Chain A
Amino acid sequence: MSDLWNGLCQAFWMVVTLDADLVEITLRSLRVTLSALLIASLIALPLAAFLSVRRFRFRRATIAVMNALMGLPPVVVGLLVYIVLSRSGPFGVFGLLFTPTAMIIAQVIIIVPLIASIAHQSLRELWSDYHDLLISMNATQSQRVRAILWDGRRALLTAALAGFGRAIGEVGAIMVVGGNIDHVTRVLTTAIALETGKGDFALALSLGFVLIAMAIAVNIAIHWLTRTEQEGRW
Chain B
Amino acid sequence: MPLMPLTVKQAVSRRRGQVLVGPVDLTLTPEGVTIVIGPNGSGKTSLLRMLHGIARLNAGTIDWACPLEEAREKQAFVFQTPVMMRRSVRDNLAYPLLLGGTPKQEARNKAEHWAEKVGLGNFLTRQATVLSGGERQKLAIARALIRDPEVLFLDEPCAALDGRAMREVEEILQTAAKGGTRLVMSTHNMGQARRLATEVVFMLNGKIHECAPAATFFETPSTPQAHAFLRGDIVE
Contacts and interface: CB of A to CB of B under 8 A. Distances in A.
Interface in B92-130: 95-96, 99, 127, 129-130
A232 B54 contact: no
Given A126-B86, A147-B85, A151-B86, A133 B79 contact: yes
Contact of A230 (B52, B99, B127): B127
A232 B85 contact: no
A130 interface: yes
Contacts of B87: 151, 232
B73 interface: yes
A6 to B, nearest CB: 53
Contacts of B54: 132, 135-136
Given A230-B127, A230-B130, A231-B130, A137 B85 contact: no
Give the residue among B54, B83, B86, B96 with the most A Cβ atoms within 10 A: B86
Contacts of A196: none
A233 B72 CA distance: 34
Nearest to B153: A136
A139 B72 CA distance: 11
Contacts of B77: 132, 136
A129 interface: yes
Contact of A232 (B52, B96, B99, B127): B127
Given A230-B127, A231-B127, A231-B130, A137 B99 contact: yes
B76 A232 contact: no
Interface in B30-74: 52, 54, 72-73
A129 B99 contact: no
Given A230-B130, A231-B127, A136 B76 contact: yes
A143 interface: yes
Contacts, number: 46
B127 A129 contact: no
A167 B52 CA distance: 48
A17 interface: no
A189 B44 CA distance: 62
Contact of B85 (A143, A151, A230): A151
A136 B51 CA distance: 11
Interface in A177-234: 229-233
A88 interface: no
B85 A138 contact: no
A69 B204 CA distance: 51
Contact of A143 (B72, B79, B99, B129): B99
A137 B78 CA distance: 11
Contacts of B174: none
A130 B83 contact: yes
Contacts of A231: 127, 130
Contact of B73 (A129, A132, A138): A138
A132 B86 contact: no
A132 B83 contact: yes
B96 A129 contact: no
Contacts of A152: 86
Contacts of A137: 76, 95-96, 99
A138 B83 contact: no
A133 B83 contact: yes
Contacts of B7: none
Interface string A128-167: 0110110111110001000100011000000000000000
A96 B88 CA distance: 48
B181 to A, nearest CB: 16
Given A137-B96, A138-B72, 5 more contacts: A136-B52, A137-B95, A151-B85, A229-B86, A230-B130
Interface pairs A-B: 7 shortest CB-CB: A232-B127, A133-B83, A151-B86, A136-B77, A138-B72, A137-B96, A135-B54
24 contacts: A126-B86, A130-B83, A132-B54, A132-B77, A132-B79, A133-B79, A135-B54, A136-B54, A136-B76, A136-B79, A137-B76, A137-B95, A147-B95, A151-B85, A151-B86, A152-B86, A229-B86, A231-B127, A231-B130, A232-B86, A232-B87, A232-B88, A232-B129, A232-B130
